[in-house]
Amino acid sequence: MATNEQLEGKPHWVFKKHTNDIKKFIDCAIYLKDNNAAVSQESKSNMLHFLQDSNLYKSRLKSGDEVLDAMNHRIDGLNYYMFGYSSKLNGKKKFIFSPLGNLFLKHLGDKKKLEMIFATMLFAIQFPYPASRPSLNFSLYPFRLIFQLLLDSRLAGKLYNYELISFLIYVDKLNQDVYEELVAKILESRKLTSTEKLSNLKRNEHQIVKSVYEWQYYNAKLISSLGVITTVTGDESVKLYHPTKEGSKSAPTPRKISDDYFSLTETVTPYVKKMLSNYSVFETPIALNNRHKKSDDVIKAIYSFYPSELLSEIGEEQDATQVKLLKLPRLIEEYSTNPDNKTADKFEDILEEAFNMFINVDATKLSGPGRTDIECLYITENEKFAVEAKSTANKLNAINSGRLYHHRQLIGAKYTVVVTPHYVPSVKFDISGQDIVIIKANTLSEYLYNNIVSDNRSMDYGAIHEIVEGNLGTDISSAVSDLTLTHFG
C-alpha cells in the first residue's frame, strides 16, 4: 500500500454516503412521484413535514427547527443510484425519473426483480458522473470494474475491503494493462496476514478513513441489502480516526474496519456475467464536457440506460414494435437538428410515425411546395390539425404565419403544431394571436419516451389537444413537460 505522503491529495473515488437504507430512498421517490416531482426548497420542506407526519422520518433536531439536509441527501442518493436526476424544466426544479428508476418502483413487491434492476443501475454509474463532482477526475465504470474482478477466477470470486480501499479507488482510467496490473497488486496483497493489512490501513488512517466509512458503512450495506453482494465479516478489526479539525475540542471520530470480503450473490451472478459480455468494463464513459451536446442532453443520455438484457431477465421482454418505437424519441431529437442539411425529410417521416402513436390520431405526410408537412385527423373530435417539421442546425429565426394559415386552409385544419429543436425569442411574436403552437422536439420526444417505456399502448392525444386549444399563439413545451411529469414524474 502507498505511504501517507503518497496518498496525500491523491484523487480517489468518492462513494455516496448519508444513508444505507433503501426504504428511505423509496419513500422519497414515492413522495416525488405523488407530488409532480418538484424539488424546490418549498417542495423539500413539504416533503420533510409529510415524512415526519407519516412517521417515515424522525429529526434529531429540536422541535421547531427545520434543516433540509436529510431531504437533500435522499434526493442526492436517488441521483447517484440512477433513479433519476434533478433538472430545471422551464424554470422549475424537478426530479426526472429514469427508465430504470420507474422500473424499480414498478416492482417494489418483487425482491428478485429489484436485485436485477439495482445491479443494472450500478452497471450504468460512470465516472465522470453528474451526481458526483469528485468523479470528474476519472474515466471508467466503477461498479463494472468491481463486478469484473468478482468474476475473475484468479481472485476466487471475492474482494476484500482492504483491496478496494488500497487499490481500486485510485484507478482513474481502465484498459487491459491497467486491469492486469490491478489484479497483480491484489494477488500480491493476499500474501499479507489480516494483522499486516490492518496495520497498513492504520498507518494511513487520516487519508483513507473517509473512504472506509463511505464504502463499508453506506455502500456495501446498501448494495448487500438489495441482494447484489454478500459480505463475510473478518475476524480482526482496527479503529481508524478522522483527523481532528484545527481548534476543535472534540475527540477524534473513530471508524471500525474489519478484514471483510464480499462476493456477488448466486442470484445475480449469471446476470452480471451476461451484462459484462455486452457492456464492457473497458467501455469509454460518456464525456460530460461534450462540445457538441448540451449538458442536459448528456445527462439524459447517461440516465437513459435501459438494456434489453434486463427486460428479458425480469420477464418484460419487448416485442418488435416496442423496440422500434423506443427509437422514435431519439430519432426525433437527432433529425430535428438537421445535421449537414441531410435529415429534413427524415424528420418529417419520424414525426408522421410519432403522431400515429396516438390511438386517436391518423397522421399522413404530405410535404411538398405549398403544403403542410403532416396532415393529422384527431379522430375523437373529427378535427384536422397540421404539423410543421422545422428542422434546423441553428435556431429557427422566423415563422411565416400567413403561409401556415394557407396550409391549414388547403386541408381544413383547425390549428398548426410547429415542432422544432430551438428558436430565437422573436419567433413567439410571429405566432402571437395565431392558431399556431410551438413544441420543442426534445419535449415531444420526452413525452413519447415515457409513454413507451411505461408500455402505454393506449396513448390518447386528448390531453395535448386540450393544451393546444388553451394556449394557441404560444410555446406549449412547458405545459407538455408538466403533463409528462404529472403522468410519469
Q: What is the pLDDT of residues 15-45, one digit of tens each?
A: 988 888 999 999 999 989 888 777 878 888 8
Question: Do the Cβ atoms of 473 and 437 come closer than 8 Å?
Answer: yes
For the cut 80, the answer to whether the pLDDT of residue 227 exceeds it is yes
Q: Which of 177-191, 363-377, 435-449 has the highest mean pLDDT?
A: 177-191
Parallel, antiparallel or unpaired: strands 413-420 and 383-389: parallel
Are the CB atoms for 471 and 439 separated by under 8 Å? no
> Mean pLDDT across the stretch 281-306?
84
Q: What is the pLDDT of residues 322-337, one digit of tens each?
A: 665 566 666 766 776 6
pLDDT score at 42: 81
Q: Lowest-confidence range among 84-88, 160-164, 263-267, 377-381?
A: 84-88
Least confident residue range of 192-201, 203-212, 296-305, 410-419? 296-305
Averaged pLDDT score across all residues of the chain: 87
List the chain domain ranges: 4-13+108-278, 318-488
Check residues 238 and 392 and name the one with the higher pLDDT: 238
pLDDT higher at 441 or 224:
224
Residue 249 has pLDDT above 60, yes or no: yes
Distances (CA, A) of 118 to 78, 238, 399: 12, 31, 47
* Residue 94 grid coordinates: 424537478
Q: Is the pLDDT of residue 102 over 50?
A: yes
Cis ω for the linkage preceding 285 (within 30 of 0): no
Distance of CA 329 to the CA centre of its chain: 16
Q: What are 138-147's pLDDT values in tens digits?
A: 999 999 999 9
For residue 14, pLDDT over 50 is answered with yes
C-beta separation of 75 from 86 below 8 A: yes
Q: Are 443 and 477 in contact (CB under 8 A)?
A: yes
Run of H or E residues at 413: strand 413-420
Which of the four pLDDT bands, split at 50, 70 and 90, describes residue 242?
confident
The fold adopted by the segment(s) 318-488 is Restriction Endonuclease (3.40.91)
